Amino acid sequence: MTKKMIYSLPKLYNREQLNIILNVIYNDIKQVLIDCIVNNPVEFEFMKNFGLTPNQRIEITSELSKQLEKITNNHFNGWCDTINFNIINSISGALSSLQKMNKINNFTPDEMVEFIYNLIVYQIDDFEHSPCISDDLLIDY
Protein backbone atom coordinates (compact mmCIF):
# COMPACT_ATOMS: atom_id res chain seq x y z
CA MET A 1 0.00 0.00 0.00
CA THR A 2 1.34 3.40 -0.93
CA LYS A 3 0.08 6.75 0.17
CA LYS A 4 -1.19 8.96 -2.62
CA MET A 5 0.63 12.19 -3.27
CA ILE A 6 -1.76 15.14 -3.07
CA TYR A 7 0.83 17.82 -2.42
CA SER A 8 1.89 20.62 -4.67
CA LEU A 9 5.32 21.74 -3.58
CA PRO A 10 6.99 24.95 -4.57
CA LYS A 11 10.12 24.31 -6.57
CA LEU A 12 13.04 24.90 -4.21
CA TYR A 13 16.27 24.02 -6.02
CA ASN A 14 18.05 23.87 -9.30
CA ARG A 15 19.72 20.54 -10.12
CA GLU A 16 23.18 21.53 -8.88
CA GLN A 17 21.88 22.77 -5.51
CA LEU A 18 19.78 19.68 -5.00
CA ASN A 19 22.62 17.31 -5.86
CA ILE A 20 24.83 18.91 -3.20
CA ILE A 21 22.11 18.55 -0.56
CA LEU A 22 21.31 14.97 -1.56
CA ASN A 23 24.94 13.87 -1.34
CA VAL A 24 25.11 15.20 2.21
CA ILE A 25 21.91 13.53 3.35
CA TYR A 26 22.82 10.26 1.67
CA ASN A 27 25.94 10.06 3.83
CA ASP A 28 23.84 10.54 6.98
CA ILE A 29 21.33 7.90 5.87
CA LYS A 30 24.10 5.42 5.10
CA GLN A 31 25.64 5.92 8.55
CA VAL A 32 22.33 5.12 10.24
CA LEU A 33 22.02 1.97 8.13
CA ILE A 34 25.54 0.92 9.14
CA ASP A 35 24.70 1.54 12.80
CA CYS A 36 21.44 -0.45 12.55
CA ILE A 37 22.81 -3.38 10.57
CA VAL A 38 26.60 -3.73 10.52
CA ASN A 39 27.19 -2.44 14.04
CA ASN A 40 24.27 -4.41 15.46
CA PRO A 41 24.71 -8.11 14.63
CA VAL A 42 21.73 -9.18 16.76
CA GLU A 43 19.37 -6.95 14.77
CA PHE A 44 20.92 -8.19 11.52
CA GLU A 45 20.24 -11.81 12.50
CA PHE A 46 16.61 -10.98 13.29
CA MET A 47 16.27 -9.41 9.82
CA LYS A 48 16.69 -12.84 8.26
CA ASN A 49 13.36 -13.91 9.74
CA PHE A 50 11.47 -10.65 10.16
CA GLY A 51 12.78 -8.15 7.61
CA LEU A 52 13.19 -4.75 9.22
CA THR A 53 13.14 -5.15 12.98
CA PRO A 54 11.06 -2.72 15.04
CA ASN A 55 14.24 -0.97 16.19
CA GLN A 56 15.57 -0.66 12.65
CA ARG A 57 12.21 0.59 11.40
CA ILE A 58 12.21 3.30 14.08
CA GLU A 59 15.81 4.34 13.41
CA ILE A 60 15.50 4.39 9.63
CA THR A 61 12.11 6.11 9.67
CA SER A 62 13.43 8.73 12.06
CA GLU A 63 16.51 9.38 9.92
CA LEU A 64 14.52 9.57 6.70
CA SER A 65 12.13 12.00 8.34
CA LYS A 66 14.99 14.19 9.51
CA GLN A 67 16.65 14.18 6.10
CA LEU A 68 13.45 14.79 4.14
CA GLU A 69 12.67 17.72 6.41
CA LYS A 70 16.18 19.01 5.73
CA ILE A 71 15.52 18.86 1.98
CA THR A 72 12.29 20.85 2.39
CA ASN A 73 13.69 23.31 4.95
CA ASN A 74 11.31 21.91 7.61
CA HIS A 75 8.24 22.69 5.53
CA PHE A 76 5.81 20.29 3.91
CA ASN A 77 5.68 17.74 6.73
CA GLY A 78 2.76 15.96 5.09
CA TRP A 79 4.81 15.45 1.96
CA CYS A 80 7.78 14.22 4.02
CA ASP A 81 5.58 11.79 5.97
CA THR A 82 4.08 10.37 2.78
CA ILE A 83 7.47 9.90 1.13
CA ASN A 84 8.90 8.34 4.29
CA PHE A 85 5.96 5.93 4.57
CA ASN A 86 6.34 4.85 0.94
CA ILE A 87 10.11 4.34 1.18
CA ILE A 88 9.85 2.27 4.37
CA ASN A 89 7.11 0.15 2.81
CA SER A 90 9.22 -0.45 -0.28
CA ILE A 91 12.12 -1.61 1.90
CA SER A 92 9.80 -3.93 3.82
CA GLY A 93 8.41 -5.31 0.57
CA ALA A 94 11.85 -5.91 -0.89
CA LEU A 95 13.03 -7.71 2.26
CA SER A 96 9.86 -9.80 2.31
CA SER A 97 10.52 -10.81 -1.28
CA LEU A 98 14.09 -11.82 -0.41
CA GLN A 99 12.75 -13.94 2.45
CA LYS A 100 10.20 -15.67 0.24
CA MET A 101 12.92 -16.44 -2.29
CA ASN A 102 15.23 -17.71 0.48
CA LYS A 103 17.84 -15.16 -0.60
CA ILE A 104 18.01 -12.95 2.49
CA ASN A 105 20.48 -15.32 4.19
CA ASN A 106 22.92 -14.74 1.31
CA PHE A 107 23.50 -11.14 2.39
CA THR A 108 26.33 -10.01 4.61
CA PRO A 109 25.60 -7.02 6.86
CA ASP A 110 27.55 -4.73 4.50
CA GLU A 111 25.63 -6.04 1.49
CA MET A 112 22.34 -5.49 3.32
CA VAL A 113 23.32 -1.89 4.02
CA GLU A 114 24.09 -1.38 0.32
CA PHE A 115 20.84 -3.06 -0.72
CA ILE A 116 18.66 -0.88 1.51
CA TYR A 117 20.73 2.24 0.80
CA ASN A 118 20.32 1.73 -2.95
CA LEU A 119 16.56 1.27 -2.54
CA ILE A 120 16.36 4.60 -0.74
CA VAL A 121 18.63 6.48 -3.14
CA TYR A 122 16.87 5.08 -6.21
CA GLN A 123 13.56 6.43 -4.98
CA ILE A 124 14.75 9.84 -3.83
CA ASP A 125 17.19 10.48 -6.69
CA ASP A 126 20.03 8.31 -7.96
CA PHE A 127 21.05 10.96 -10.52
CA GLU A 128 20.43 8.42 -13.28
CA HIS A 129 16.69 8.14 -13.86
CA SER A 130 13.52 10.16 -13.81
CA PRO A 131 10.90 10.47 -12.51
CA CYS A 132 12.04 10.35 -8.93
CA ILE A 133 10.94 11.93 -5.67
CA SER A 134 13.33 14.88 -5.84
CA ASP A 135 11.78 15.98 -9.14
CA ASP A 136 9.03 17.53 -7.00
CA LEU A 137 11.58 20.03 -5.68
CA LEU A 138 13.36 21.05 -8.89
CA ILE A 139 12.88 24.48 -10.37
CA ASP A 140 13.90 23.32 -13.83
CA TYR A 141 12.02 20.05 -14.02
In a domain, 47, yes or no: yes
pTM across the whole model? 0.89
In a domain, 4, yes or no: no
Q: Where are the alpha helices (DSSP H) in the chain?
A: 15-33, 41-50, 54-71, 77-100, 109-124
Percent of the chain with pLDDT over 70: 91
In a domain, 97, yes or no: yes
In a domain, 6, yes or no: no
In a domain, 74, yes or no: yes
> For residue 109, which of 51, 26, 10, 41 has the smallest C-alpha distance?
41
Residues spanned by the domain of 47? 15-137
Number of domains in the chain: 1
Q: Which residues, given as ranges, of the chain have pLDDT below 70?
A: 1-11, 140-141
